[in-house]
Amino acid sequence: MAAIHHGKEADEAPAASQYLTFMLGSEVFGMDIRTVREIIQYGTMTTVPLMPSFVRGVINLRGAVVPVIDLQARFGQPPAAVGRRTCIVVFDAVRNGERLELGLLVDAVSEVVDIPASQIEPAPSFGTSVRREFIHGMAKAAEGRFIVLLEPDKALDIDEMAALCEVAQEPAVAA
């Protein structure tokens, strides 16, 4: 009779969500794996004139035009330098109820991790290189470090980025 309840602890533990973790500079970030479509190697990209610095360009992904966002530049840092582990994380975004694919330029993809809700702290009110509303929370990781969990609906808000693109184009429109 001793081994009947071997799965009980898993049933009582809070549900864990899976996050894809990746590097931007020396910081580890994560985003909900359910929004990630695929990870592709950095390759040929077409630059688009008059875009803000965080729009690196577009890629052709099986015939679809996918804009690529430089997350470091989006977070107000200098644009990312492309290295041998640089890749593009393609994820689903929603604008006006329509699903769109966006690419995120990251320094390196790390791993997929299970993070229980009990291990996620609220975003700090200061002290990060990322706007507070871009952060879903801070997950406790090994050695006292944290994983910055992104809130993609805010950090990668299509409407806000589109408005920034329009601002970038205004000088060219003036007569």
Q: What is residue 118's three-state secondary structure?
A: helix
Q: Would you give the DSSP letter of residue 35?
A: G
Provide the H-helix boundaries in 34-138. Answer: 71-74
Quote the domain boundaries for residue 126. 17-173
Residue 46 within a domain: yes
Q: What per-residue confidence (pLDDT) applies to 139?
A: 92
CATH number at residue 84: 2.40.50.180
Identify whether 12 is part of a domain: no
* Contact yes or no for 18/33 (Cβ under 8 A): yes
Distance CA 95, CA 159 (A): 7
Residues in contact with 44: Cβ distance below 8 Å, sequence separation at least 6, in sequence order: 59
pLDDT in tens, 26-81: 889 999 999 899 999 998 899 988 888 888 999 999 999 999 999 888 888 888 89
**What is the domain count for the chain?**
1
pTM: 0.76
For residues 173 and 91, the model is more confident at 91
Type and span of the H or E element at 10: helix 8-12
